[in-house]
Amino acid sequence: MNNFLPKVPDPQLLEPSVFRNRQLADYQYEILMKSIKSYEENLDDDQEVAIQLASFGQSVVMQVTDIGYSNPSLIHFYGFVNNVRSELIQHVSQLSFLLTVVPKLNPELPARRIGFEIEINDV
């Protein structure tokens, strides 16, 4: 037996997460999902989550209804800006926003919580 060869573990015994690419959008999506779900747990029944974005010298508040992703690098935010249906597409390296609370859009309906979609598209 050659004592100079490195011992390589059996790949079947390794945890699958060892091989996971943590820079892909699906991993970033999971982190966002956990953070937002935790944030939503502290909301009152008449409050909804919004994200505040600042760019191009302007601040925009989006009431988020759904979040999805497209590997390798895009996160999709769906919701309303000034009561107009909108979609924000951001690269995972540019994710920067403020989670905030806004009154629910429709006082007659239960407060909306963010839905998380499965992968939109693998590129």
The domain segmentation of the chain, as residue ranges, is 11-118
Tens of pLDDT, residue by residue over 110-122, are: 888 887 654 444 4
User: pTM for the whole thing?
Assistant: 0.75
Q: What value does the mean pLDDT take over residues 24-30?
A: 92
pLDDT above 80 for 4: no
Kindly give the pairing relationship between strand 98-103 and strand 121-122: unpaired
Tens of pLDDT, residue by residue over 52-110, are: 987 767 889 999 989 999 999 999 999 999 999 999 999 999 988 899 999 988 889 88
Give exposure, 25-35, as e/b (b: 16+ Cβ within 10 Å): bbbbbeebeee
